[in-house]
Structure 1
Amino acid sequence: MIAPVARAPVVVPPAAAKVAREFEALFIAQMLRSAHAAGLADDPLAGKDTGFRDMQDQQLAASIAAQSPLGVARLLAVRK
C-alpha cells in the first residue's frame, strides 16, 4: 500500500485572499442578476427601478461569499 503524500499548508497572501473573495462576490451577484432576469421566482421589484435590487444583490452576494462561500475564492487564491 502506498502512503499518502503529506502536503505543506498553502499560505495565501492576505491581498490575494481579499481579491479572490471580492471576485466570488461579483460571481454570485451575476448569478443573482441572471436568476432575476430568468424570472425564477415572483419578484416584487419586477419592472421597477433596478438600482435598489442591484444594491441588494451586491450586499447579499458579499454576505454569501463571506459566510458560505461557493469555493471560487479558495480555488483562485491557491492558483499559482
Structure 2
Amino acid sequence: MPHVVNVHEAKTQLSRLLAQVEAGEDVVIARRGEPVARLVACKPTGKRHPDVLKGRIVIPDSFFDPLPEEELAAGEGS
C-alpha cells in the first residue's frame, strides 16, 4: 500500500519523501484526498561519455554560411 500524503505535507517534507522513495517505498501525493501524482525512483542512467562521437561527426564549413533569403523569410512566417 502506498504512503499517501497531501500537497502541503509533500511541499514541507519533500526531502523525507524522496528518501522514502529511494528506499523503495511508494509515495502518492493527494489533493483533497484524491491521488494526483506518484513519486517514483529514477533508474540510473549510467556513466556519460562526452567524447564518444569525437571524430565521427564532421560539420562542414558551409554549415555556418548565411541562409538564403527565401529560407530566412520562410522561417519568419512570411
Superposition TM-score tier, normalisation by shorter sequence: under 0.3
- Structure number with bigger Rg: 2
Bigger share in helix: 1
Bigger share in strand: 2
Higher relative contact order (CA 8 A, sep 6+): 1
* TM-score with structure 2 setting the length: 0.22
